[in-house]
Each structure stands twice: as C-alpha cells, then as structure tokens.
Amino acid sequence: MRVGLVLLIAVIATTIASKKLASHHANAEQRILLVVTSHEDLGTSGKKTGYYLPEAAHPHHVFTNAGLKVDYASPKGGKSPLDPYSVQDYKDDKISVDFLNNASVQKQLSNTIKISDVNPNKYSAIFFVGGHGPMYDLPTDVAVQQLTRTFYESNKIVAAVCHGPAGLLNVRLSNGKNLIDGKRVAGYTNGEEEEGGTTSQMPFSLEDTLKRNGGLYTKVDNWQPHVVRDGNLFTGQNPASATGLAKIIVSALKKH
C-alpha cells in the first residue's frame, strides 16, 4: 500500500519534471542542430534556390555568441544549396557576409549530416532554416518527421523560421495528432510569397497548409518580425524574425 503510494508520487513528480524543457546540465556543452534543405531548383522556373542565408547566419551568430555549438543537417547530407538571391539581398549585412567567409561554417555546410544519421541525444534544439528549398524536400521526408517527433516528445526545443515550418507540417506525434494541431505557429505568409513573386512556383501555400493541419496561425505585415512560442515549439514568420527567434531559444535554454 505504502509502496504503491510512493510509486504514484514518483510517477507524478516525473511527469511534472518532464513538462519542463529538456536540456543538458548547465556546464555541459549545448549543441543546436540547424536543418537546411537539399533542394536547389525553384520549381520549373529554371532559377536556383536553397536555404536562405540570413536565416542560418543570424541564428548562428546568436547561438555561438551565447556559447552554444551549431551543427548542420539536411535530408540528403553533404552540400546544402545556398539561395543565390539571398546572398544578393544580404550583401550589406555584416553577419551574413561573416558567415559566408567563415571557413569552418562553410566546411560544415559542404558536409552536412544526413538527417537519418543524426543522434538526437547530442542536441538541445532542432531549428529549421527557411528558403524556398525546404518547401520541396522537407514536408515529405520521413526521417525529418521522425527526428522532429523525437525532439518534441523529449521536451526539447523544436524551432522553424520562414519556410522552415514546412518541415513541421506532417510530423505526427505518438498520440496520433499532428504536431502543429492546436499549436500557435508562424511562417512565411501568402502576402510575402506574392510580393516576392514566387507563389506560382511553390508546390503549396505554407500559410494555408499550416492552418489546414490545425496550426493556430498568426501573422503581421509583410517582412516585419514575428516570433511565436507555444510550449517547446518556436516559430518565426520571415527572415526578419530569425534573430528574435534565436534569442528566445537562448533565453529558454538558459533558464535551466
């Protein structure tokens, strides 16, 4: 009888503890996994795409300044394509230029870890970088879905910016529900897709699909920063949201 009571209390205590964000011991090295795309063609336009430079560069800057280590993974592994338009758009942005000139970072991006080879135990958070590439390869990638579920169900941070939430669309949890179902989320808007002239090349609308799959989607004016947190799910609307998103992740990790 008494043993049963002690066990019950232990189970309740464990359940409460597991509701907190999981992270490593304070003085252990914390690592963040940035997921980038393996896809380089912008539909049938003949134009190239890939990951969007500042959406990797700005988080990398915030994370490394906070003493966190950053690794890169992609569906196919190996070299991840960089959106050439993002290089042009951010040619006057020092953080993006420094990122492009950082030899150790570029070596990592030329040799990304294949998603199916990632050991989730090494990381405190998974962060999906945007760009148009992720719209093609992330939503249907089973290894992406499984890895994201593992992070989420271990109470680790799952984050995505701009088109990065494409990687969250079809993640099913152990309870059979879609990860984003009933969760507050942000992501690239139909208006931004229109203004950027890319609507006709997209395989689907990110905004519409986030809503259709149950996401409680909010947005602000085109290109303005917008970051949303729902428990251990963190999302941002567009390139301007990448820094703010990384900062709330750092402060969530530092609370432990």
Ligand X SMILES: *[C@@H]1O[C@H](CO)[C@@H](O)[C@H](O)[C@H]1NC(C)=O
Q: Which residues bind ligand X (CB under 6 A)?
A: 64, 70, 98, 102, 104-105
Considering the complex, state which of residue 109 and residue 206 has its C-beta at the smaller distance from ligand X: 109
Closest separation between CB of residue 95 and ligand X, Å? 9
C-beta closer to ligand X: residue 102 or 201: 102
Is the Cβ–Cβ distance between 238 and 230 less than 8 Å? no
Query: What's the token pair of residue 144?
Result: 């992406």
Minimum distance from residue 125 beta carbon to ligand X (Å): 15
Which residue, 102 or 205, is less far from ligand X as judged by CB?
A: 102
Residue 129 near residue 50 (C-beta atoms within 8 A)? no
Which CB, 99 or 152, lies closer to ligand X?
99
Q: Which residue's C-beta sits nearest to ligand X?
A: 102
Polymer length of the chain: 256
In this structure, are residues 180 and 145 in contact, taking their beta carbons and an 8 Å threshold? no
- Nearest residue (CB) to ligand X, 72 versus 217: 72
Q: State in angstroms the smallest separation of the CB of 70 from ligand X.
A: 5
Q: How far is the CB of 64 from ligand X (least distance, A)?
A: 5
Query: Is residue 204 within 8 Å of residue 16, measured between CB atoms?
Result: no
How far apart, in whole angstroms, are the C-alpha atoms of residue 42 and residue 26? 42
Note the Cα 252 to chain centre separation in Å: 15
CB-wise, 112 or 198, nearer to ligand X? 112
Distance CA 253, CA 22 (A): 9
Q: How far is the CB of 61 from ligand X (least distance, A)?
A: 8
H/E stretch holding 149 reads helix 142-153
Min separation Cβ 24 and ligand X, Å? 18
How far is residue 108's CA from residue 106's CA, in Å, rounded to a whole number? 5
- The CB-of-180 to ligand X minimum distance in angstroms stands at 30
> What is the separation, in whole angstroms, between the first and last Cα of the chain?
36
Q: Which is nearer to ligand X, 102 or 178 (CB)?
A: 102
Strands 227-230 and 233-236: antiparallel
